[in-house]
Amino acid sequence: MYSNKTFKVTSSSANKVGTTTRKIRKAQAPSSKMIDVEYNDYSSFAKVKLPEINENPTTGNRMKEVSCGVPITLEGRKAQHIYHTRTPSLKRKNDESLADELQRNIRSFGNAQKDDITKTSKRSTICCGSLKKLASVRTNQLDSFERVTKHLPPKTKFTSSEIEVMNLRNEILRAKIELYIKEQIDALNKTIQLQDDTPEVEYEVNQFMDDYEEIDDRSAYKNVHMAEIKDSLMNIRQYCEAMQTMNANLNSEELNKNNTPRSQKKIMNNHSKLNKKPVKEHPRRNFNEQKGNIKVFCRVRPPVLSECEDIADIRFPPYSYGKKISLASIKRNYWGVERETFKEYKFDKVFGASATQEEIFNNVTPIVQSVVDGSNGCIFAYGQTCAGKTYTMQGPQDPTIYNEGMIPRAVRQIFNHVNELKTQGWEYEIEGQFIEIYNDNIRDLLSEDPSNNRGLKFRTIHDEQTGTTMVNKAKTVNLDSVATLNWVLQMAAKNRAVASTKSNANSSRSHSIFMVRLMGTNTITGENRIGTLNLVDLAGSERLSKSGSQGDQLQEARYINSSLSHLKTVIQGIKEKSDHINFRNSTLTWLLKNSLRGNAKVLMFVHISPLESARAETESSLEFARLVNSV
Ligand SMILES: Nc1ncnc2c1ncn2[C@@H]1O[C@H](COP(=O)(O)OP(=O)(O)OP(=O)(O)O)[C@@H](O)[C@H]1O
C-alpha cells in the first residue's frame, strides 16, 4: 500500500489557441513512493505513472492510460491514490468521487460538443436558406426576361416611352451578357494558350501528375481537359445564338407595334415636340461671339543697348504670349518708407519683348482670312511715340523676310488665299489706297507728287449697300502682285509726314491707314463677296506736356489727342451697343466707320515702351487699352 508521502503531479492544459501548458506540483501523498499523475484537462483522460512500486513487484514501473469516467485500477487495485490535479490543494478522493468527477467531466465535454454541433447546423441552415433565396431570385430574373422577350402577349399596347425603356433594358442586358461571354471567351483562350507545351504548363502538368500518381496517362488528363474546354465553348456559342434570336424577336415585335397607324402618329408627335424645343445657346459661345468683334492685344518693345539704364519694371510673359502684364511703381507712405506695388492689366493677349513678327502675325490671320470671305476687319497700332507701332505694322526701315511687318504679310496671305480659291471658281479684284490723316485732313501717301496733296480736298465716301469705304481723289492701286505691294510700301514710307519732336527724332505725327478692298465673284455659282481690311498705324499718343510741343507741333499733338479720344468714344459706343455713335466727330472715325461697326472684326494692338522714363505714358496707354477691353 502507498504510504502518506510527497508525490509529483504533472498536469497539462491547453488554452483557446491551443497552447499547452504543463504544470508540475508537489504534494503530500499517502505513499512514500513517488507517483506521476498526468492529467489532461482538455481531453479528459489521465495518465497515471507509477514509479518503482516495491510493494507490488509484479507491476513494476508502468504507465496506464485511462479514459475519464472509467474507474482507474492499477493492476487489479482500485486507484484510490489518484488525486484531482485541478484543485491547487490536492485532496485525496475516493473511487466514487473520482468516478463522479470523471462523469461530470464527460458530461460537460459532451454538452460542449453538442453546442458546437447545434451551432454548425444552424449556420449551415442559414447558408442553405440564403443559397435558396439566391437561386430563386436568379430563376425569377430568367423567367421575367423570358416572359418579356419570348412570350409577349401579341396584342399588348405599349407607349413609345415604354418601348424605349424596354429597348434600353434589353440593350443593357445584351451588353452585360456580351461582356460576360467575352470574359469567358478570354479566359478560355488563355487556358487554351496555356495548353500549349510551354515550360510552365509542362511543369504544372508534371506537378499535377506527381500529386496524383494514380493517373498514369498524362495525355489522357490533357485530353479530358481539352474536351471540357471545347464543351464550354460550344455552350457559349449556343448561348450567343439564343441571345441573338431573342433580340431579333424583340426587335420584330417592336417594329410590329410601331407600325400601327396610332403608334406611328404618336411617334411623329413626339418627334415634332422634340424638334420644337427651343435650343439654348451655350453662354460661353455667346460671350465669345460678342467679344470676338473688338479685341485688345498688347506688345512690349524690346529695349536697345543705349536704353539699358532706363528700363522700367514691367512684368510680361517671358516667352511668346500670355494674358497679363503688370507695371511696378514705387509708392512712398506718410513716413517716407518706399514700397513697390504692381498694377496688373489683363488683355486678350500680351506679347513679351521676345515675340517675333511672325508670332504676332499668326495671331491676326483669322481677321485677314475673314476679309477674303467677305467681312470687314480693322487692326490698329496704338501707343506712345517710339513704342514700336510702325515696326509692327510695316516692319523696320530695311525689312527682311523675318522682320517684315503686318501689312506685307497680310497682303501676301490674301494673295495666297485668293489663289487657292481660284480652283473653286472664285475670281478676286484687290485694290488698295494708302492715306494719312494729318491735323484731321486726309493726305494721299501714294501720290507721286506730294505737293499736289495741299490743293486737293479728299473726301471719304461710304457705300452703304456694299459696306465699303474709299477716299475719292486718292490713288487706288490694283494690288495684283508682290511687286506692286512693295512699290506701295516704299511710296508710303517716303511720303509719310514726319515731324521732329522732343520724344522721337523720326516721330510720325499722323495716322496712316492702308485700305485693302477685295471684290470676289464666283464664276460657277455667281456669288459675290466684298471685304475691306484697314491696317492703321496711329500717331503717337503722348501727352502734350511730355512732348514739349510748341507752335505747329502743339497743333499736331492737339489733333492727334482729339482724334484718339474720339476713337475711344466710338469704340466704347460700339462695345456698349449704343443707339447713336457719332463717327463724324473726327476724320479718323468717319473713315473707319464701316470697319468698326456691324460684323467687322476689330483688333487694337497697344504698344508699350520698356523705358522707365516713359512710365507715365505707358500707364496712360495701358489704361486706354483696358477701357477698350473692358467695356
Ligand atoms: N519689336 C521690336 N523689335 C525690335 N525693334 C523694335 C521693335 N519695336 C520697335 N523697334 C524699334 O524701335 C524704334 C521705334 O519704333 P517705331 O518707329 O516703330 O515706333 P513708333 O511707335 O511707330 O513711333 P512713332 O509713333 O513715333 O512713329 C525703331 O527703331 C524700331 O525699329
390-446 pLDDT, tens digit each = 999 999 888 888 889 999 999 999 999 999 999 999 999 999 999 989 888 888 888
389 CA from centroid of ligand 1 (Å): 6
Q: What angle do CA 477, 566, 324 make, to 5 degrees?
A: 90
pLDDT in tens, 200-238: 545 555 555 554 444 444 455 556 556 665 666 666 666
Report the C-alpha gap between 279 and 286 in whole angstroms.
13
Task: Express as a percent the part of the chain with pLDDT over 70.
Answer: 52
Q: Which atom of ligand 1 is nearest to the CA of 387?
A: 21
Paired sense of beta strands 294-300 and 601-608, if any: parallel
- Tell me if 389 is assigned to a ligand binding site: yes
Ligand 1 touching residue 501 (CB < 6 A): no
Joined grid coordinates for residue 585: 466727330
141 — pLDDT class (breaks 50, 70, 90): low
Task: At 495, give phi and psi (nearest 5°).
Answer: -85, -15
Model confidence over 152-165: pLDDT tens digits?
A: 544 445 566 666 77
Q: Indicate the DSSP class of residue 5.
A: -
Residue in the structure block whose three cell numbers are 530695311: 398
Consult the annotation and say whether 383 binds a ligand: yes
Name the residue at shortest CA distance from atom 26 of ligand 1.
507
CB-based contact 94:71 (threshold 8 Å): no
Of the pLDDT bands very low, low, confident and very high (cuts 50, 70, 90), residue 80 is: very low
139 CB contacts (<8 Å, ≥6 apart)? none
**Phi, psi values for residue 21, rounded to 5°:** -120, 135
Beta bridge partners of 43: none
Split at pLDDT 50, 70, 90, the class of 477 is very high
Max mean pLDDT among 23-32, 84-93, 120-129, 366-375 falls in 366-375
* Most informative mutation of 299, 300, 301, 406 for ligand 1 (most atoms within 8 A of CB): 301
Using the 8-state DSSP alphabet, how is residue 127 labeled? H
Q: For residue 5, give the amino acid letter.
A: K
Question: 424 labelled as ligand-binding?
Answer: no
* The Cα angle at residue 368 between residues 363 and 373, in degrees rounded to 5: 135
Half-sphere exposure in the Cβ direction for 170 (13 Å, CA): 21
pLDDT at 53: 37
Nearest C-alpha to atom 12 of ligand 1 is from which residue? 388
d(CA 18, CA 571): 93
Q: Whose grid coordinates read 434589353?
A: 170
pTM greater than 0.80: no
Angle between helices 261-276 and 218-258 (to 10 degrees): 90
Ligand 1 contact via 31 beta carbon (within 6 Å): no
Measured between its terminal Cα atoms, the distance across the chain in Å is 123
d(CA 261, CA 576): 55
Residue 580's Cβ-side half-sphere holds a number of Cα atoms within 13 Å equal to 3
Going by alpha carbons, the residue nearest to atom 14 of ligand 1 is 386
Question: In this predicted model, what pLDDT tens digit does every residue of 318-344 receive, in sequence order?
Answer: 666 678 888 887 777 777 777 778 888
Is 589 labeled as ligand-binding? Answer: no
Cα separation values, 44 from 9, 86, 105, 140, Å: 16, 12, 7, 53
> Which residues make Cβ contacts (< 8 Å) with residue 557, sequence separation at least 6?
509, 542, 544, 547, 549
DSSP string, 432-481: EEEEEEETTEEEETT-S-GGGGGG---EEEEETTTTEEEEETS--EE--S
Ligand 1 geometric centre to CA of 405 (Å): 11
Q: Looking at residue 620, what is its pLDDT? A: 87
ipTM for the complex? 0.97
Rounded to 5 degrees, φ, ψ at 94 are: -85, 175
Q: Is the CB of 504 under 6 A from ligand 1?
A: yes
Residue 422 carries which DSSP code? G
**CA-to-CA distance for 167 and 153, rounded, in angstroms?**
17
What is the amino acid identity at position 139? T
Q: What is the pLDDT of residue 28?
A: 45
**3-class state of residue 215 by DSSP:** coil
| Among 354, 356, 384, 390, residue to substitute to test ligand 1 (most atoms within 8 Å of Cβ) | 390
